[in-house]
Structure 1
Amino acid sequence: MAAGHRAIVRDHMYLRQVPRPRVFRDRSNPLEDLREEEIFARYRFRPDTIYFIVDLCQAAARDTGRCFAIPLVLCVLSYLRFLATGSFQLTVGDTVNLSQPTVSRVCRQVGQVLSALADRYICFPSGDRVRQVKQQFGAMAGFPNVVGAVCDASYRITSAVVMWPGRTHEARIWRQCALRRRFEDGDVQGFLLADSGYACTRYMLTPYMNPVGEAQARYNGALCRTRVTVEQTFGILKQRFQVLRRKLNCSPERACMHIRNCITLHNLGIDRRDIVAVDPIDPIDNSHYHGVDVGDNMDGRAEREYVTRMYFER
């Protein structure tokens, strides 16, 4: 009995020493085998946008001296599939016929290449674009949010701070934001709209906590209806990239990279009119009353009163 057991163990050890034959998988391009709607459902972009992303990554890879051992289109598809689903790498690999270790490697490589493009696609408006954004919002432009982001009327994210733990208060994120310093220094003209989690300042308008009179009520209603755009923006972002709805099982640095890349790709999709539709949000149910004193200053309250008198008194 013991001799038979030893023979089995010896045979298993021998089998482990024998090199496994290489398996060459079919790595055909899924973009050539699926219809456009099927491609969008799996990768959250249309084929022409995906090829555009591939070309961007190819150019960025050349600039950084990177090389990819497998076709770049498969690398990009693997990363887009990961962002679109948040699935395990083994599941992502089954979609494009790649092994889990390969998916891990290419997601890191493509993620790093896309990260280098962030400043090209996430940038606060300047020049004539500032005037256009103000016209779209009336006299106001942009929205800080709990995740440290600002958007415009086209749902484009124009500023994003992706570096703080999830429990950090949004007011603290804003205090450390480089965009805030630009407003403080007078480099940017106009208003940001925010909820009551932020302090009312001369450049950031927030709701009245306890509105008195019809003018203040109308101001609150207009601010809420306009500011809801940022909630819709994040709805679009999470609808396209389901990875943002799940826990990212990676280092904080890599998690920040993935989130920033989602924002980059979101803006790229808007530029190319390759968008995801979401249900509208009722602004009445989205007033975001925090009930916390975040330190409104006198200049901010005076500016808010001026706007209320100029635009909301009848």
Structure 2
Amino acid sequence: MARRQFHERPDFINTLTNAELVDRYRLDRDGILYLHESLKDILDPATNRNNSVSSLHQILITLRYYATGGIQLNDADIHGISQPTVSRCISKVTDALCSPAFIRRHISFPVDQEEVRKVNAGFFGVAGFPHVIDVIDGTHIQIKAPVVEEASYVNRMGYHSINTQVVFDDTDRITDVVARWPGSTHDSRILRESALSTILEGGHVPGPHNYLLGDSGYPCKKWLLTPYLNPPAGSQTEYNKAHKRTRAKVERAIGQFKRRWGILHGEVRLTPEKACRVIMACAVLHNICRDRNIPFENGVPNLNNAPNNVYQGAQNGLQYRNIIAATYF
């Protein structure tokens, strides 16, 4: 029997510059090593039999796949392994990034009073809109047509997707993300059935006057303010101007999120369940990049999302919105 031949695996972490690493893997050397230190106990192979893939190499393979959204066979050739091995590495690293403990370490909604105050001040500096705690929007991540419940994944633009709810703070960090709903699901339902809704409905954010900003696809509530549809001249029009300028941050942040991780910018050729985990993993990595000030091109509006249908249900925040408009604008 012929002996198996193994290709020498390139040492990219030590041979590429920081700029080259960011260009190919979206993280610099220190960022990659941080991931390695955090995840190596989960990822390190139990044995070195059959030229097993180290935890560091598994991380590089997965980051490359997320960054480019490329064909796994190309990633296999680049990193000196087989395509099935690439697939196993991506699954293993994705699961590690999506562990509840690791998600909680990097994605959290502001509930500390001092943290809330800083976020309020950051958003106020955009357009003078007071007491904004975060901005919210939905975005569609395109996936291949699934075998099960195919029709439910067809969104209003006509392609298959995961409708993903994303919340950003004033520094473009993700503070909440929900990636589990088929593309046909309305944004308002995703919010209504989310843990974030429970937090805000329950009054678990310090202060009596903190709220999200969202578009007209969401219900207007005391903790979620939407724009007026046909405002008269005066305070309501000025409210809308400030609302639009402030909420534009979520559209630009989603645009950056998708371009940083190219796997989200095209069609994710995975099952819906695996695609959802990749979205969550990319959200964690987005915040790691933000926390470490890893450079990336400025965000542009989220282009993979048609405007929401206007919400038609009950809205218990309309009078509160009128007070905000009259008081501050």
Looking at structure 1, the residues matched to 308 and 64 of structure 2 have their Cα atoms a distance apart, in angstroms, of 36
The equivalent residue for 1:11 is none
**Residue 294 (structure 1) shift:** 2.7
**Corresponding residue for residue 149 of structure 1:** 166
Give the structure with the larger strand fraction.
Answer: 2
Is the CA contact 1:30–1:96 (under 8 Å) kept in the aligned structure 2?
no
Inter-CA distance 60–226: structure 2 relative to 1 (3 Å threshold): farther
Any conservation in 2 of the 1:123–1:159 contact (CA below 8 Å)? Answer: yes
Looking at structure 2, the residues matched to 216 and 295 of structure 1 have their Cα atoms a distance apart, in angstroms, of 21
Q: How do 1:25-174 and structure 2 match up within 5 A?
A: 25-61=7-43, 69-116=52-99, 117-127=102-112, 128-138=114-124, 139-146=131-138, 147-174=164-191
Q: 2:228 and 2:325 mapped to 1: Cα distance?
A: 10
Distance 1:293 1:125, change over 3 A: closer
- Segments of 5+ residues of structure 1 without an aligned counterpart are 1-18
Give the counterpart of 1:252 among 261, 265, 272.
272
Given the superposition, is the C-alpha separation of residues 260 and 169 from structure 1 closer, same or farther in structure 2, using an over 3 Å criterion?
Answer: same
CA deviations on 1:47-69 (whole Å, 9 max, x unpaired) are: 1111111111114558xx97783
**Are the structure 2 counterparts of residues 135 and 218 from structure 1 closer, same or farther at C-alpha, using a change threshold of 3 Å?**
same
Aligned pairs (5 A) from 1:232-251: 232-251=252-271
Choose the corresponding residue for 2:291, options 271, 277, 284. Answer: 271
Distance in 1 (alpha carbons) for counterparts of 2:281 and 2:230: 39
Gaps of 5+ in 2: 125-130, 139-163
* Offset from partner CA, 1:62-104 (integer Å, 9 cap, x none): 8xx9778322111100000000011111111112111111111
Deviation at 1:29, TM superposition (A): 1.4
Q: What's the TM-score once normalised by structure 2's chain length?
A: 0.82
Q: 1:291 to 1:162 in 2, by over 3 A?
A: closer
Structure 1 ranges of 4+ moved more than 6 A: 65-68
CA contact (8 A) 2:68 2:262 kept: yes
Question: How many angstroms apart in 2 are the aligned matches of 1:280 and 1:215?
Answer: 29
| Structure with larger Rg | 1
Q: How far apart, in 2, do the equivalents of 1:84 and 1:293 lie?
A: 35
Residue 166 to residue 20, structure 1, CA distance change in 2 (3 Å)? farther
CA RMSD of aligned residues (A): 2.1
In the TM superposition, 1:149-298 aligns within 5 A as 149-189=166-206, 190-281=210-301, 290=308, 292-297=310-315
| Alignment match, 1:6 | none
Q: Distance in 1 between matches of 2:280 and 2:199?
A: 21
8 Å CA contact 2:111, 2:204 repeated in 1:
no
CA separation in 1, counterparts of 2:57 and 2:199? 41
Report the secondary structure of 1:160's partner residue: strand
Give the whole-Å Cα distance in 1 for the aligned partners of 2:5 and 2:240: 64
Amino acid at match of 1:168: T
Query: In 2, Cα distance between the equivalents of 1:28 and 1:289?
Result: 45
Number of aligned residue pairs: give it: 287
- TM-superposed deviation, 1:196: 0.5
**CA–CA distance in 1 between the matches of 2:234 and 2:326?**
11
Q: Is the 8 A contact 2:256 2:299 kept in 1?
A: no
Give the TM-score normalised by structure 1. 0.86
Counterparts in 2 of 1:293 and 1:255: CA distance versus 1, 3 Å: closer
Amino acid at match of 2:94: G
Q: Which one is further off, 255-264 or 21-30?
A: 21-30
Q: Distance in 2 between matches of 1:93 and 1:262?
A: 21
